[in-house]
Copies of this chain bind each other. A is one copy, B any other.
Amino acid sequence: MSEYIEYDQDGVSVGRVEKRIFTFADPPGEMVLESGAKLGPVTIAYETCGELNREKNNAVLICHALSGDAHVAGYHDKDDPKPGWWDIMVGPGKGIDTDRYFVICSNILGSCIGSTGPCSYNPETIEPYALDFPVVTIGDMVSAQKALINHLGIPMLHAVIGGSIGGMQVLEWCVRYPEMVKSAIPLASTTRHSALAIAFNEVARQAIMADPNWNNGKYYDGPKPALGLAVARMIGHITYLSDDSMRLKFGRRRQDKSDFSFKFDADFQVESYLRHQGKKFVERFDANSFLYITKAADYFDLGREHGDGSDIDALSKTRAKFLVISFTSDWLYPTYQSRGIVKALKKNGLDVSFCEIEARWGHDAFLLPNERMTTLIKGFLAHAAD
């Protein structure tokens, strides 16, 4: 999500990676969504790194968060300005070692970076869906990923891994397709959003919908709701950081060292940083996708969907081995929520390791280099098939 910390890429990148797409139409030509709505055909953009072995038992599926994409590691070509979003973790010899594992990452259903979403063309109207796109759930996203994994001929995933909303997909995979998941790593995640997390998402959605250019979702042939989406992103961005990380990174440092502007300019570096993040995001992300994906995250409730209100009952369906990771300064999906997952897994007698990693960088910590996180993931994956 955030690229705000400059870091040295350590280790070797996976190198050049191909963009791929897979289009499917479940019988009778459509995917039936959790809402009951039908959608099809569905295109899923994905990328892979490493080689699938002959036994087809070394596949690792990585699930991305809100604004991520299929481009998890490596470069598309030599002009690619930066590698995939989790290049610090995925590559030869890295935490998720592409010399050993066949890594798959696909853009989630409802997004705008290659997979079918509200900005895709509705085959019935030959116009972008906009708000005619049905509201999708985390379950629907996982169901689309399952079609991709079937298409790739993989009977069982060695591991499903993801942080934040990616972690929700991990949990959904485990209970929806238990026969296909050997091990699972949800990072900085939860079985359901707190009222606080819903509140932030709702305000971000309101910021988008308040922009007159949003035009009830129909902006694809006109000006985009850029200001609204920028505000939405800024709100999100604050929640991915922490009081501590913002103090370290910005404190009260001013743009103009000499004095305040006594105007409504960006006086503080943190203001200018947020404005910049907002602007950058608008160039690469679709406002409607932001609405759909945050709504899916707010709806997600593992216990409600799969356990009649109980996470324990929901997780009784899985057979996977778990590594659950949380971060001390993550106040969006705080450690107590990860502990809840661990507790529910243990009640089911499942094999689960848990680590709360000391990290200052808030919710975003899972995207940043952390030796402890890398070691844990590497070690866990090496023994996940034992």
Residues of A at under 8 Å CB distance from B? 35, 37, 131, 134-135, 192-196, 198-200, 202-203, 205-207, 209-212, 227-228, 230-231, 234-235, 238, 241-243, 246-247, 249-252, 260, 262-264, 266-268, 270-271, 274-275, 278, 291, 295, 298-299, 301, 331, 334
Contacts and interface: CB of A to CB of B under 8 A. Distances in A.
B195 A210 contact: no
B251 A195 contact: yes
Contacts of A299: 260, 267
A337 to B, nearest CB: 10
A195 B266 contact: no
Most buried by B among A203, A228, A234: A203
Contacts of A331: 243, 331
Identical copies in the complex: 2
- Closest 4 pairs (CB-CB, A-B): A210-B227, A195-B246, A35-B262, A135-B262
Contacts of A206: 227, 230-231, 234, 274-275, 278
Contacts of A242: 196
B252 A193 contact: yes
Contact of A196 (B202, B203, B209, B243): B243
Given A210-B211, A210-B230, A274-B203, A195 B262 contact: no
Given A192-B252, A199-B270, A334 B243 contact: yes
Nearest to A226: B210
A254 to B, nearest CB: 10
Nearest to A278: B206
A307 to B, nearest CB: 15
Given A195-B247, A264-B295, 18 more contacts: A134-B262, A135-B260, A135-B262, A194-B247, A195-B243, A195-B249, A195-B251, A198-B268, A199-B238, A199-B246, A199-B270, A203-B234, A206-B227, A206-B231, A210-B211, A210-B230, A231-B231, A260-B299
A270 B230 contact: no
